[in-house]
């Protein structure tokens, strides 16, 4: 770990960089001073194709000065910009700083357009053709990697086109999720449930809540053991949006369907994270994106 907490590598990189440039300068000077053994006709004595002789003429002056200018430029660049280990350069330039400046310029350019949508209700923004097109681009760039380009999600990633919401599907809740992100934590519950047989009974009881295929005898035995899960999912298994606990009575399975999938969840638990978007998107962009996401399920129902 000392390699990552000391300044050794900074000094090492700086030394290699400076020595390399100085070595180029030394090579240039040495090659200009050194004299090769030549014949009386100023050739090296090498002959090709019978009469093609290698001359021993010095480099043209303009070519030598190009090398000198390159070396000087290298030192000037390293003085002004980062390049010598942890030294930041006289200009204080950083790639992250340039990125922030460019993003700020881009945000300022489109601010008047977003201001128009910020003054509108989410329901109205979700139906505006221009806002929908912008929202779709924002979704493709920031959300589709997990939720899919069609927003139908996948295993471990919620479907945003249905009416099933872990934390609530109101415009305010969607904005909150986008802004702050979410951290879902299903702790391992096997020890709280009981024996391995008890866990299997609970799994069948959970399947029975959504009328999925199950062992009815085991489901009845697992009903009382479900009390260990009721603190989050409720006595009726309908979940708790305040905790992000899913509804177990519908036919929507975020992490896989069937007895084995439920056993894995109870035995091992699961942690899911929805990253916050506040550091990537402006408040106005989140408003448009939330409107687009809200419209994926609500506008479809309205039709």
pTM of the prediction? 0.72
Count of other CB atoms within 10 angstroms of residue 126: 23
What is the CATH topology of the domain spanning 101-181+275-302? Answer: Cytochrome Bc1 Complex; Chain D, domain 2 (1.10.760)
**The tokens of 126 are what?**
């979700």
Count of other CB atoms within 10 angstroms of residue 208: 21
- β-sheet bridge partners, residue 157: 154
- Residue 147 has phi, psi (to 5 degrees) of -90, -5
The rounded distance, in Å, linking the Cα atoms of 90 and 73 is 15
> For the domain 185-274, what is the CATH superfamily, name and number?
Cytochrome c-like domain (1.10.760.10)
What is the maximum span of the chain, computed from C-alpha positions, in angstroms? Answer: 109
The rounded distance, in Å, linking the Cα atoms of 296 and 288 is 13
For 240-243, the CB contacts below 8 A with 24+ separation are 241/165, 241/166, 241/167, 241/168, 241/173
Is 101-181+275-302's fold the same as 185-274's? yes
Domain residue extents for the chain: 2-80, 101-181+275-302, 185-274
Looking at residue 54, its pLDDT comes to: 79
CA-to-CA dists, residue 153 to 143, 150, 164, 206, angstroms = 10, 8, 12, 23
- Model pLDDT for residues 15-63, shown as the tens digit of each residue: 999 999 999 999 988 887 777 666 677 777 778 887 788 777 778 889 9
- Three-state secondary structure call for residue 250: coil
Looking at residue 156, its pLDDT comes to: 93
Per-residue burial over 163-178, b = 16 or more CB atoms within 10 Å of its CB, e = otherwise: ebbbbebebebbbbbb
The rounded distance, in Å, linking the Cα atoms of 169 and 176 is 10
Residues 226 and 205 sit within 8 Å (Cβ to Cβ): yes
132, HSE (Cβ side, Cα atoms, 13 Å)? 10
Looking at residue 77, its pLDDT comes to: 95
Looking at residue 1, its pLDDT comes to: 43
Blockwise average pLDDT, block size 10, the chain, 303 residues: 69 92 92 71 78 79 92 95 89 92 89 91 95 96 96 94 94 96 94 95 96 95 95 95 94 93 95 93 95 91 43
**The tokens of 186 are what?**
């299903």
Looking at residue 38, its pLDDT comes to: 67
Looking at residue 302, its pLDDT comes to: 41
């Amino acid at each position: 770990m000392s390699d990552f907490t000391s300044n050794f590598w900074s000094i090492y990189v700086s030394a290699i960089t400076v020595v390399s440039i100085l070595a180029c300068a030394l090579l240039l000077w040495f090659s200009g001073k050194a004299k090769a053994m030549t014949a009386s006709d100023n050739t090296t004595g090498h002959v090709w194709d019978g009469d093609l002789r290698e001359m021993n003429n010095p480099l043209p002056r303009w070519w030598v000065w190009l090398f000198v200018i390159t070396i000087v430029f290298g030192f000037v660049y390293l003085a002004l910009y980062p390049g010598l280990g942890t030294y930041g350069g006289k200009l204080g330039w950083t790639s992250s700083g340039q990125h922030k400046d460019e993003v700020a310029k881009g945000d300022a350019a489109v601010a008047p357009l977003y201001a128009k949508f910020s003054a509108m209700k989410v329901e109205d923004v979700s139906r505006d053709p221009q806002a929908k097109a912008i929202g779709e681009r924002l979704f493709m760039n920031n959300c589709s990697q997990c939720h899919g380009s069609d927003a139908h999600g996948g295993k471990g990633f919620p479907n945003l086109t249905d009416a099933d919401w872990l934390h609530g599907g109101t415009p305010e809740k969607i904005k909150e999720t986008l802004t702050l992100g979410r951290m879902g934590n299903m702790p391992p519950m096997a020890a709280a449930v009981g024996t391995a047989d008890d866990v299997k009974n609970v799994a069948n009881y959970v399947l029975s809540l959504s009328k999925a295929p199950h062992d009815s005898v085991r489901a009845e035995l697992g009903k009382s053991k479900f009390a260990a899960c009721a603190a989050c999912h409720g006595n009726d298994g309908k979940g708790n949006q305040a905790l992000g606990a899913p509804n177990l009575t519908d036919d929507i399975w975020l992490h896989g369907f069937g007895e084995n999938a439920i056993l894995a969840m109870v035995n091992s638990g699961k942690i899911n994270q929805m990253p916050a978007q506040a550091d990537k998107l402006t408040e106005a962009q989140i408003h448009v994106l939330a409107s687009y996401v809200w419209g994926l399920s609500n506008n479809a129902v309205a039709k």
